[in-house]
């Protein structure tokens, strides 16, 4: 699991991903990469 590799618990990882979503909302590369994942991942 990603959280294990990063030595984070699942709540910390989800918080970090939510931060990324806000921080990079206008970034074209982030949008392209995020579009490759299921809409429900990880939330």
Instruction: Give domain status of residue 9, yes or no.
Output: yes
CA distances from 31 to 10, 34, 39 (A): 23, 5, 12
Give the long-range contacts of residues 15-23, CB within 8 A, separation 24 or more.
17/42, 17/43, 18/43
> Would residue 18 count as lying in a domain?
yes
Task: Give the total number of structural domains in the chain.
Answer: 1
Range of the domain at 18: 2-35
* 25 CB burial (10 A radius; 0-12, 13-18, 19+): exposed
CA 17 to each of CA 10, 34: distance values in angstroms, whole numbers, following the listed order = 11, 11
Asked whether residue 41 is assigned to any structural domain, the reply reads no
In a domain, 43, yes or no: no
pLDDT (tens digit per residue) in 1-43 = 677 788 888 899 889 989 998 999 999 999 999 999 998 876 6
pTM: 0.65
């Amino acid at each position: 699991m990603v959280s294990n590799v990063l030595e984070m618990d699942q709540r910390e990882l989800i918080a970090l991903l939510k931060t990324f979503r806000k921080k990079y909302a206008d970034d074209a590369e982030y949008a392209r990469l995020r579009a490759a994942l299921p809409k429900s991942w990880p939330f």
